[in-house]
A and B are shown apart, each in its own frame.
Chain A
Amino acid sequence: AQKITQTQPGMFVQEKEAVTLDCTYDTSDPSYGLFWYKQPSSGEMIFLIYQGSYDQQNATEGRYSLNFQKARKSANLVISASQLGDSAMYFCAMREGNAGNMLTFGGGTRLMVKP
């Protein structure tokens, strides 16, 4: 079974609007962390936001927020007020507490912001 599933291969959003990128995960480990990375066409993975499994509140970083629904095992990324520079691949990743330090990535979602 896939540990991280991103069901949207591609998404369009109008500039200045909000967009939600979906991520569901699968783990039996009670301690885990969820990450979102942005990968522009240049190829570098840019860290956006982190959510720990024991965090009580949803993480926020500027225009990025994470809609963490633990019971549903989902960790969707919300980008508010989209900008043209937000066009990129977005990857959801998980680190499980008892599985070493590796990140397991989803297949990614390509976001395209329309002017």
Chain B
Amino acid sequence: GAGVSQTPSNKVTEKGKYVELRCDPISGHTALYWYRQSLGQGPEFLIYFQGTGAADDSGLPNDRFFAVRPEGSVSTLKIQRTERGDSAVYLCASSSSRGDTQYFGPGTRLTVL
């Protein structure tokens, strides 16, 4: 079946603008995760959803970052007042339940000018 998909694949924005990044998990996967990967580093955890609720948002760096998953499937990561330091690849992953292997999407490369 189809894997995790993310849109857009690339996003260029100006400092101070608002952006939305979308993740469509593997069909039937109840758990969804967002990670951020800066250049030359491993991914860092941002937030985890189990169903519609955010079960763990301890990785969100500040209140400019917010994520939703209103129907328990597609998730949107929202970043307000973007800063140049937000430039990174944002990875989404899903798993069939808590504790199972996480399968990743291709990522969204965000560039803040």
Taking Cβ atoms with an 8 Å cutoff, the residues of A that contact B are: 4, 33, 35, 37, 42-47, 50, 91, 93, 95, 100-108
Contacts and interface: CB of A to CB of B under 8 A. Distances in A.
Nearest to B59: A102
Interface string B70-113: 00000000000000000001010101001101111111010000
- Which one of A33, A37, A46 has the highest number of Cβ atoms from chain B below 10 Å of its Cβ? A37
Contacts, number: 62
Interface residues of B, number: 29
A47 B105 contact: no
Q: Chain B binding site: helix, strand, loop or mixed by DSSP? A: strand
Nearest to A49: B101
B41 interface: yes
B31 interface: yes
Contacts of B12: none
Interface of B: 31, 33, 35, 40-45, 48, 50, 55-56, 58-59, 89, 91, 93, 95, 98-99, 101-107, 109
Contacts of B35: 103
A103 B33 CA distance: 10
Contacts of A4: 42
Contact of B43 (A33, A46, A100, A105): A105
A50 to B, nearest CB: 6
Contact of B45 (A42, A50, A104): A104
